[in-house]
Amino acid sequence: MKLAEIFEKVIGPEADIRFAAYDGSKAGPASADISIEVKSPAAVAYLAQAPGELGLARAYVSGHLDVQGDMYDLLSRMWSLTINDIPASEKLAAIRALGIKPLLMRVQPPPQEVRRSMLAKMGSRHAKQRDAEAIHHHYDVSNRFYEWVLGPSMAYTCAVFPSEESTLEEAQYAKFDLVARKLGLKPGMRLLDVGCGWGGMVMHAAREYGVKGLGVTLSRQQAEWAQKAIAEEGLGDLAEVRYMDYRDVKESGFDAVSSIGLTEHIGKEQLPFYFRFLYDKLNPGGRILNHCITRPTGTEKTINAGGFINRYVFPDGELESVGYLARQMEDLGFEIRHEENLREHYAQTLRYWCANLDEHWDEAVEEVGQGTARVWRLYMAGCVVGFERNKIQLHQILGVKLDSQGAAHMPLRPSVDWP
């Protein structure tokens, strides 16, 4: 059985995808706007030895499988198609046609894949050294690469689009300002921003609200970039970003805490410590805004250790449901005052990032290599589909630390400019 025949059985005739393989077989309409090329037996070996998304990712990232056309369109069309859709009799026929050679061929994963054995040497999941390595893997790719993908805001978290016509920069400004307003920031307050990235939130708080902000990140490259940007904006008296684990912050007495895109890296077992630590950093009446990606329900696995995202993008990343996170916050003493789902906003944010990467593709490949650029192309396009199809969500939860009399020090209703 030729590879094109197997491809046709998997995707069906309606997918409008052109296919070609090294064995000379072809399938799909010649006029299709998307094409897949299996360039070598190594691609088949990857798929045979790791069926599903991991095998496909290995083949694509290594360059043994190529895609021409829009990656989002391809993933959207193939969203519900898996090897499990093939009847058992046809699977057996395909295996016989291919032989056992793909199963026996020695193919190493691409260097962009995180080795589980390497992480294990650094301690248990979410030990400090292991967390530092996981963050280094994803965030210390290249500040120049991130500038191309993220744009001038250097904000690597979900933006908030005031309208469908808003630009990415307008939406990232709106996101930071929404967080600031939910936290009730005012001149003279002190803000702790954990997992601060390139310092966008602390700079916004300092520039727009006169707030003294401390940001911490486990990425050395982020911290260096942020401190340089703070100095260039003349915000050094108010804003600071440190290269450090949030667990090592000694200061307390903060009026507000923002956590924008960090909880995904904390881990289910560490959540009680995480929320207790942040609770203890706040003054009575202080607010916390937790902004993070979540599972749509509490029934899914929190971590897929063998999946593409965990192996290539966010090692040790774990996603909980919003209900679970809210319960953890409540059990640690926070009163929940507001919650909202920004799922569609993240899909739109990712579309902008995908377009930015495509626009700078040749430069990005030169900067970080084809394999890493392909990881990002696959990861971001796949996440657009995931947010669109409600596979993943993005929630903001606002909590407050009550004073000794049970007062929240919150307005009766949000101000009119809080959407």
Residue 96 tokens read as 């016989």
- Give a yes or no: residue 411 inside a domain: no
| One domain for residues 87 and 27 | yes
- Give a yes or no: residue 189 inside a domain: yes
Q: Cα(125)–Cα(75) distance, rounded to whole angstroms?
A: 31
The pairing of strands 35-38 and 65-68 is antiparallel
| One domain for residues 80 and 225 | no
**51 and 29 Cβ atoms separated by less than 8 Å:** no
Average pLDDT over residues 97-118: 76
Burial of residue 31 (number of CB atoms within 10 Å: 0-12, 13-18, 19+):
exposed
What's the pLDDT band for 293 if we cut at 50, 70, 90? very high
| One domain for residues 220 and 308 | yes
- Write down the pTM of the prediction: 0.91
| One domain for residues 201 and 305 | yes
Last residue of a domain, one of 70, 104, 138: 104
| One domain for residues 358 and 274 | yes
Bridge partner list, 400? 287, 335
Q: What angle do CA 399, 191, 208 make, to 5 degrees?
A: 105
| One domain for residues 154 and 293 | yes
| One domain for residues 71 and 182 | no
Q: How many domains does the chain have?
A: 2
Give 37 or 124, the one with higher predicted confidence: 37
Average pLDDT over residues 120-143: 66
What's the pLDDT band for 10 if we cut at 50, 70, 90? confident
Position 51 scores a pLDDT of: 76
| One domain for residues 163 and 87 | no
Position 123 scores a pLDDT of: 66
Q: Cα(247)–Cα(98) distance, rounded to whole angstroms?
A: 52
Q: Cα(251)–Cα(373) distance, rounded to whole angstroms?
A: 39
What's the pLDDT band for 126 if we cut at 50, 70, 90? low
What's the pLDDT band for 135 if we cut at 50, 70, 90? low
- Give a yes or no: residue 310 inside a domain: yes
| One domain for residues 237 and 150 | yes
Last residue of a domain, one of 71, 104, 137: 104
One-letter amino acid identity for 235? Answer: L
- Give a yes or no: residue 414 inside a domain: no
- Give a yes or no: residue 413 inside a domain: no
Position 7 scores a pLDDT of: 81
Give 137 or 312, the one with higher predicted confidence: 312
- Give a yes or no: residue 19 inside a domain: yes
Tell me the catalytic residues: 383
Domain range spanning residue 35?
A: 3-104
Q: Cα(225)–Cα(200) distance, rounded to whole angstroms?
A: 11
| One domain for residues 78 and 153 | no
The pairing of strands 334-341 and 393-401 is antiparallel
Long-range contact pairs involving 6-11 (C-beta distance under 8 Å, separation at least 24): 6/94, 6/97, 7/36, 9/86, 9/90, 9/94, 10/81, 10/83, 10/85, 10/86, 11/77, 11/78, 11/81
User: 3-class SS at 232?
Assistant: helix
Long-range contact pairs involving 230-237 (C-beta distance under 8 Å, separation at least 24): 230/199, 230/202, 230/203, 233/203, 233/207, 235/203, 235/206, 235/207
| One domain for residues 94 and 147 | no
DSSP category for residue 3: H
**Quick check: 102 pLDDT over 80?**
no
- Give a yes or no: residue 292 inside a domain: yes
What's the pLDDT band for 53 if we cut at 50, 70, 90? confident
* Residue percentage of the chain with pLDDT more than 70: 87
Average pLDDT over residues 224-252: 97
Q: What angle do CA 72, 136, 131 make, to 5 degrees?
A: 105
Position 114 scores a pLDDT of: 82
**Quick check: 306 pLDDT over 90?**
no
Of the ranges 35-49, 77-91, 145-159, which one carries the lowest mean pLDDT score? 77-91
> Averaging pLDDT over each range in 9-13, 137-141, 254-258, which range is the top one?
254-258
Give 101 or 220, the one with higher predicted confidence: 220
| One domain for residues 155 and 228 | yes
Bridge partner list, 282? 254
Helices then strands, counting H and E runs in the chain, come out as: 18, 11
Position 115 scores a pLDDT of: 74
Can you give the CATH number for the domain in which 249 is found? 3.40.50.150
**Quick check: 127 pLDDT over 70?**
no
**Quick check: 417 pLDDT over 70?**
no
Q: Output the CA torsion sign for 294, 297, 302, 304.
A: negative
Average pLDDT over residues 50-60: 88
Q: Cα(213)–Cα(405) distance, rounded to whole angstroms?
A: 28
